[in-house]
Amino acid sequence: MSYITYISLILVVLLGGAIVLGVKNKIDKGLKYILAFSGAFLLATSVMHIIPEVYASSVNKIGIFVLLGFLVQLFLEFFSQGIEHGHIHVHGNVKKSFPIVIMISLCIHSLLEGFPLVREMHHELHHELHSHDLHNDHNDHSLLFGILMHKFPISIALMSMFLKAKLPILRSFLWLLVFALMAPLGTFIGEIYSEQLVDYVDFFDCILAVVLGMFLHISTTILFESDESHKFNFLKLLLIVTGGGLAYLTS
pTM of the model: 0.84
**Rounded to whole angstroms, what are the CA distances from 163 to 174, 202, 206?**
13, 42, 37
pLDDT at 223 over 50: yes
Q: Is the CA virtual torsion 70, 239, 37, 148 positive or negative?
A: positive
Contacts of 12 (CB under 8 A, 6+ apart): 148, 151, 152, 155
**Better pLDDT: 95 or 236:** 236
Q: What percent of the chain has pLDDT over 90?
A: 33
132-146, 166-180, 237-251: which range is least confident on average?
132-146
Give the tens place of pLDDT for each residue, 96-116.
456 788 889 999 999 999 988
Q: Domain locations in the chain?
A: 2-249
Specify the pLDDT at position 243: 86
Summary count for the chain: helices (H), strands (E)? 10, 0
